[in-house]
Amino acid sequence: MGDKLQIDLDDFMTRLIGRNPGETEFHQAVHEVAGTVIPYINENPKYIHSRILERMTEPDRTIIFRVCWEDDTGRIHVNRGYRVQFSNAIGPYKGGIRFHPSVNLSILKFLGFEQTFKNSLTTLPMGSGKGGADFDPKGKSEREVMRFCQAFMTELSQHIGPNVDIPAGDIGVGTREISFMFGQYKRLFNEFTGVLTGKALEYGGSLIRKEATGYGCAYFMEEMLKHKGGDLKGKVCVVSGSGNVALYTAEKLIQLDAKVVTLSDSSGFIHDPDGLNEEKMAYIIELKTFKRGRISEYAKEFKCKFYPDKKPWGIPCDLAFPCATQNEIDEKDAKTLVKNGCQAVAEGANMPTLAEAVEVFHDAQILYAPGKASNAGGVAVSGMEMTQNTMHMAWGQEDVDLQLRGIMSDIHQQCINFGAEEGYINYVKGANLAGFKKVANAMLAYGVV
Closest CB to ligand NDP among 348 and 419? 348
Cβ 313 vs Cβ 324: under 8 Å:
no
| Catalytic member of 109, 118, 130, 210 | 130
- Kindly list the strands in the beta sheet with 165-168, ordered across the sheet, starting from the edge strand earlier in the chain: 61-70, 76-87, 128-133, 93-99, 165-168
Spatial separation of the C-alpha atoms in residues 188 and 186, rounded to whole Å: 6
Count CB-CB contacts under 10 A for residue 63: 18
The verdict on 242 binding ligand NDP (CB under 6 A) reads yes
Interior angle at CA 324, CA 319 and CA 330, nearest 5: 70
Spatial separation of the C-alpha atoms in residues 209 and 168, rounded to whole Å: 10
Spatial separation of the C-alpha atoms in residues 68 and 147, rounded to whole Å: 9
CB of 360 to ligand NDP, least distance (A): 20
Spatial separation of the C-alpha atoms in residues 296 and 294, rounded to whole Å: 5
Angle formed by the axes of helices 397-419 and 427-446, nearest 10°? 90
Query: Which of these, 24, 76, 40, 7, lies nearest to 429 by C-alpha position?
Result: 40
Closest CB to ligand NDP among 96 and 370? 96
Query: Which of these, 32, 34, 37, 29, lies nearest to 12 by C-alpha position?
Result: 34
Closest CB to ligand NDP among 7 and 130? 130
Binding-site member from 81, 91, 92, 243 for ligand NDP (CB under 6 A): 243
Closest CB to ligand NDP among 176 and 235? 176
Q: State whether the Cα torsion 158-163-165-168 is positive or negative.
A: positive
The verdict on 388 binding ligand NDP (CB under 6 A) reads no
Residues 6+ apart with CB under 8 A from 300: 306
CB of 141 to ligand NDP, least distance (A): 17
The verdict on 349 binding ligand NDP (CB under 6 A) reads yes
**β-strand partners of 260:** 237
The stretch near ligand NDP (CB under 6 A) out of 40-48, 63-71, 75-83, 240-248 is: 240-248
Spatial separation of the C-alpha atoms in residues 219 and 406, rounded to whole Å: 9
Residue with CB nearest ligand NDP?
243
The stretch near ligand NDP (CB under 6 A) out of 86-94, 164-172, 187-195, 441-449 is: 164-172
The verdict on 350 binding ligand NDP (CB under 6 A) reads yes
Closest CB to ligand NDP among 144 and 177? 177
Binding-site member from 375, 389, 414, 432 for ligand NDP (CB under 6 A): 375
Binding-site member from 169, 205, 419, 430 for ligand NDP (CB under 6 A): 169
Count CB-CB contacts under 10 A for residue 73: 6
The verdict on 389 binding ligand NDP (CB under 6 A) reads no
Closest CB to ligand NDP among 154 and 353? 353
Closest CB to ligand NDP among 198 and 430? 198
CB of 292 to ligand NDP, least distance (A): 8
Closest CB to ligand NDP among 127 and 243? 243
Spatial separation of the C-alpha atoms in residues 449 and 444, rounded to whole Å: 9
Total binding residues toward ligand NDP, as defined by CB under 6 A = 24
The verdict on 314 binding ligand NDP (CB under 6 A) reads no
Closest CB to ligand NDP among 48 and 386? 386
> Could you give the string, one character per residue 82-121, with x where binding to ligand NDP holds by CB under 6 A and - elsewhere?
--------------x-------------------------
Within 246-377, strands assigned E span: 259-265, 268-271, 305-308, 319-321, 344-346, 367-369
The verdict on 25 binding ligand NDP (CB under 6 A) reads no
Binding-site member from 378, 383, 430, 435 for ligand NDP (CB under 6 A): 378
Cβ 246 vs Cβ 217: under 8 Å:
no
The verdict on 241 binding ligand NDP (CB under 6 A) reads yes
Count CB-CB contacts under 10 A for residue 339: 11
CB of 216 to ligand NDP, least distance (A): 9
Query: Is residue 303 among the annotated active site residues?
Result: no
The verdict on 286 binding ligand NDP (CB under 6 A) reads no
The verdict on 170 binding ligand NDP (CB under 6 A) reads yes
CB of 437 to ligand NDP, least distance (A): 22
Rounded-to-10 torsion of CA 39, 118, 56, 427: -10
**Residue spans of alpha helices (H) in 201-354:** 209-227, 244-255, 278-285, 296-302, 331-339
Binding-site member from 85, 244, 262, 353 for ligand NDP (CB under 6 A): 244
The verdict on 205 binding ligand NDP (CB under 6 A) reads no
Q: Return the active site residues.
A: 130
Contacts to ligand NDP by CB under 6 A: 96, 169-172, 174, 213, 241-246, 265-267, 323-325, 348-350, 375, 378
